[in-house]
Amino acid sequence: MSHCIYDTHAHINYPEFVNDMDQVLERCRMQGVGKIIAIGTDLQSSQEVIDMAQKYEPVYAVPGWHPSDCLTAPDDIRDELRRLASFPKVVALGETGLDYYRLPSAQDGVKTPEDDAFYKWKQSQLFQQHIDVALETGLNLVIHQRSAFEDTVDMLRPAAHRIRGVFHCFVGTPEQQAVVQALGSLVSFTGIVTFKNAEDIRRTVLATPIDQLMLETDCPYLAPVPFRGKRCEPAHVFHVAESIARLKGVSLEKLGEITNQTAHQFFSGLE
């Protein structure tokens, strides 16, 4: 294919891909998907994506610890983040951030508001550790936020003059995108933009300057139409790109050129 686009957020180390990774990468090649940013969610998965980046030429790695898994995290992971950041083809840190969508008290009816407060505090400690190491290393942050936008922005703001974040799987409003942009950070969009009931997100895409966004799958989740309900894979970012190019009134080639340049500016060492 003549076009070249990137999948800037993929969980290709997940068990869903263990049996057919070579075929997955071949489908990427056939669809013109030139690079894949593989994302860690804890120390083990972070090492896995780093190992995959060493093995597969199109793959780059982002080590970090997901906020939803904060309760299993050590009290301080900064030394581990520093160690992981030193590997070749590590291009950012994450995914990190804040997620208040499913608080402990809503899970089992036994946990209390005090448990919720500790959960939020633990997430904030983990996020701050990623910010600290990002400031030390100069790596930017892949940010996960759900039902926690204002707190996430408030934590990032003091460091925003030195590091940037990409708010991945962005489903916020145009006003929230403007807040992200004012911080010098970016948003990225998934296959959700192709969903029939996603008019609000398409409005945000329309409001986002074309050089302020990136493309992703968040695979194996959120497969775009026409694959909705099936396993998502990096090649499906083609359909995300098609949808956004149509919304923006540009060719797929032009969208790829602009979003790839944005990715190279954001991800340190992306070649």
Res. 184 pLDDT band, cuts 50 70 90: very high
Question: Chain-wide mean pLDDT for the chain?
Answer: 96
CB burial class (10 A; 0-12, 13-18, 19+) of residue 199? exposed
Q: Is 271 a member of any domain?
A: no
Distance CA(2)–CA(167), nearest Å, equals 29
pLDDT per position as a tens digit, 53-87: 999 999 999 999 999 999 999 999 999 999 999 99
In terms of residue numbers, what domain contains 214? 5-266
pLDDT per position as a tens digit, 1-57: 456 999 999 999 999 999 999 999 999 999 999 999 999 999 999 999 999 999 999
pLDDT per position as a tens digit, 141-174: 999 999 999 999 999 999 999 999 999 999 999 9
Q: Is 152 a member of any domain?
A: yes
CATH number for the domain that contains residue 248: 3.20.20.140
**Number of structural domains, the chain?**
1
Q: Is 197 a member of any domain?
A: yes
pLDDT greater at residue 258 or residue 2: 258
Q: Is 141 a member of any domain?
A: yes
Full 3-state SS string of the chain: CCCCEEEEEECCCCHHHCCCHHHHHHHHHHHCEEEEEEECCCHHHHHHHHHHHHHCCCEEEECCCCHHHHHHCCCCCHHHHHHHHCCCCECCEEEEEEECCCCCHHHHCCCCHHHHHHHHHHHHHHHHHHHHHHHHHCCCEEEEEECCHHHHHHHHHHHCCCCCEEECCCCCCHHHHHHHHHCCCEEEECHHHHCCCCHHHHHHHHHCCHHHEEECCCECCCCCCCCCCCCCCHHHHHHHHHHHHHHHCCCHHHHHHHHHHHHHHHCCCCC
Q: What is the pLDDT of residue 156?
A: 98
> With 60 as the cut, is the pLDDT of residue 117 above it?
yes
Q: Is 213 a member of any domain?
A: yes
Res. 252 pLDDT band, cuts 50 70 90: very high
Instruction: Copy the structure tokens of residue 238.
Output: 């083609």
Q: What is the pLDDT of residue 1?
A: 46
Q: What is the pLDDT of residue 2?
A: 52
Mean pLDDT computed over 190-218: 98
